[in-house]
Amino acid sequence: LVLPVGRRLPWAAGTIGLIVPVVYSVYSLVRGAVIGFYPYPFFDPAVQGGYGGVALYLGALILALAVLAFALLGLARLSARLGKARSGR
């Protein structure tokens, strides 16, 4: 939204942005189970009432990140479309 209009990003770019949070979450859960330390309370099954609570929390978090990623991507695509329309006149 702040940068000049560039090329139009494909919708798949929204899913690419979710790779890092998903990989980090899996890594943190596996590492936490091995060493007994979780970097955040929402990763800790003892705090969340088991792995079901952790899964619900992380699912909601990933869903919120996906909504944000696709909303920003949609705004960027709209900006690119409006930029092309203005320069085409």
pLDDT in tens, 13-65: 888 889 999 999 999 999 999 999 999 999 999 999 999 999 999 999 999 99
Q: Are 1 and 74 in contact, with CB atoms under 8 Å apart?
A: no
Q: pTM for this structure?
A: 0.75
Among candidates 13, 12, 39, which has minimal Cα distance to 28?
A: 39
Residues 6+ apart with CB under 8 A from 73: 9, 11, 13, 14
pLDDT of 69 over the 70 cut: yes
